[in-house]
A and B are shown apart, each in its own frame.
Chain A
Amino acid sequence: MGPERSGIIWRCLAISLIVGGCATRGEDSRVATAPLRAMRRDDTLWLERASFGLDSASVESYRELGRERFLERQLHPGEAALPAPIAAEIAALEISHADPAKWLADVNAQYKLINAMPDGADKEQARKAINDRGTRLAYEAVRRDLLRAVYSPAQLQEQMVWFWLNHFSVFQYKANLRWLVGDYEERAIRPHVFGHFKDLVMASLQHPAMLQYLDNNQNAAGHINENYARELLELHTLGVGGGYSQHDVQELARVLTGVGVNAGDAPKLKPEMQRLYVRSGAFEFNPARHDFGAKTLLGHPVTGQGFGEVEYAVGLIVSQPACARFVSRQLALYFVADDPPPALVERMAQTFMHTDGDIAAVLHEMFMSREFAAALGGKFKDPTRYVVSAIRFAYDGRPISNTRPMLNWLNGLGEAPYGRQTPDGYPLTELGWASSGQMSRRFEIARAIGAGNAGLFDPEEGAAAGAAGFPQLSNRLYFEAVEPFLAAHTKEALNRANTQQEWNTFLLSSPEFSYE
Chain B
Amino acid sequence: MNEPSMNRRRLLLGSAGLLGAGIAGRLFAAPSSGARLLLVFLRGGYDSTNFLIPYSSSFYYEARPTIAIAKPDPASNTSALALDADWALAPAVRESIGSMYMQRQAAFVPFTGTEDLSRSHFETQDSIELGQPMTGPRNFRSGFLGRLSATLTGPARDNSSIAFTEALPLAFEGAATVPNLSLKNVGKPPFDERQARILSDMYLGHHLAPAVSNGLELRHEVAQEMAEEMSAANRNAINTKGFELEAERMARLMRDKYRIGFIDIGGWDTHVGEGGAQGALASNLSSLGRGLQVFSSSLGAEWNHTVVVVLSEFGRTFRENGNRGTDHGHGTVYWVLGGSISGGTIVGEQRRLVQGALFQDRDYPVLNDYRSVLGGLFRSLWSLSPEQSSRIFAQTSLLDLKLV
A interface residues (Cβ-Cβ under 8 A, vs B): 215, 218, 220, 222-227, 230, 234-235, 240, 246, 249, 413-414, 421-422, 424, 427, 431-441, 443-444, 447, 489-490, 492-493, 496-497, 502, 505-506, 509-511
Contact = CB atoms under 8 A, between A and B. Distances in A.
Given A434-B208, A436-B177, A493-B198, A422 B215 contact: no
Given A436-B218, A496-B198, A509-B202, A414 B167 contact: yes
Given A225-B321, A447-B190, A437 B216 contact: no
Q: Across chains A and B, which 3 residue pairs bring their CB atoms closest together, nearest first? A: A223-B322, A440-B215, A436-B215
A493 B182 contact: no
B104 interface: no
B44 A422 contact: yes
B308 to A, nearest CB: 22
Nearest to A175: B272
Contact of A511 (B117, B121, B206, B325): B206
Most chain B C-beta atoms within 10 Å of own C-beta, residue among A222, A230, A235? A230
Contacts of A496: 198
B249 interface: no
B268 to A, nearest CB: 11
B216 A424 contact: no
Contacts of B211: 434-436, 439
Nearest to A222: B322
A225 B317 CA distance: 12
A436 B212 contact: yes
Nearest to B219: A440
Contact of A422 (B122, B181, B198, B204): B122
A424 B269 CA distance: 13
B202 A510 contact: yes
A443 B191 contact: yes
B203 interface: yes
Contacts of A413: 166
A443 B216 contact: yes
A510 B211 CA distance: 14
A424 B313 CA distance: 15
A387 B272 CA distance: 36
Most chain B C-beta atoms within 10 Å of own C-beta, residue among A437, A447, A506? A437
B82 to A, nearest CB: 33
Contacts of A226: 327
B272 A511 contact: no
A225 B168 contact: no
B167 A421 contact: no
B20 interface: no
Contact of A492 (B43, B167, B191, B201): B201
Chain B interface secondary structure, helix, strand, loop or mixed?
loop
Interface string B270-297: 0110000000000000000000000000
A51 to B, nearest CB: 24
B271 A433 contact: no
Given A240-B122, A437-B179, A493-B201, 15 more contacts: A218-B271, A225-B322, A225-B323, A227-B327, A230-B119, A240-B118, A422-B44, A431-B173, A437-B168, A437-B181, A437-B215, A489-B202, A489-B204, A493-B202, A511-B202
B272 A444 contact: no
Contacts of A490: 202
A422 B219 contact: no
Nearest to B220: A440
Contact of A438 (B166, B272, B360): B166
A125 B272 CA distance: 27
Most chain B C-beta atoms within 10 Å of own C-beta, residue among A249, A427, A443, A506? A443
A222 B323 CA distance: 11
A497 B199 CA distance: 11
20 contacts: A240-B122, A246-B119, A431-B140, A431-B170, A435-B180, A435-B215, A436-B179, A436-B211, A437-B166, A437-B167, A437-B179, A439-B208, A439-B215, A440-B212, A440-B218, A443-B199, A489-B202, A509-B202, A510-B202, A511-B206
B277 to A, nearest CB: 20
B201 A502 contact: no
Contact of A227 (B208, B218, B267, B271): B271
A246 B123 CA distance: 14
B340 interface: no
B219 A435 contact: no
B214 A432 contact: no
A444 B208 CA distance: 17
A220 B119 CA distance: 21
Contacts of A439: 208, 211-212, 215
A218 B219 CA distance: 45
Given A230-B328, A438-B167, A490-B202, A218 B323 contact: yes
A78 B206 CA distance: 42
Contacts of B321: 223-225
Interface string B311-340: 000000000011101011000000000000
B199 A215 contact: no
B205 interface: yes
Contact of B199 (A227, A432, A506): A506
Contacts of B168: 435-437
Given A433-B167, A437-B180, A440-B215, A225 B205 contact: no
Given A437-B182, A493-B199, A223 B123 contact: no
Contacts of A240: 118, 120, 122-123
A511 B203 contact: yes
Nearest to B211: A436
B42 to A, nearest CB: 13
Interface string B183-208: 00000001100010011011111101
Nearest to B213: A436
B22 interface: no
B266 interface: yes
A377 to B, nearest CB: 13
A493 B177 CA distance: 24
Contact of B203 (A414, A441, A489): A489
Given A230-B119, A437-B215, A440-B218, A432 B167 contact: yes
Contacts of B266: 421-422
A404 to B, nearest CB: 16
A220 B272 CA distance: 13
A4 to B, nearest CB: 14
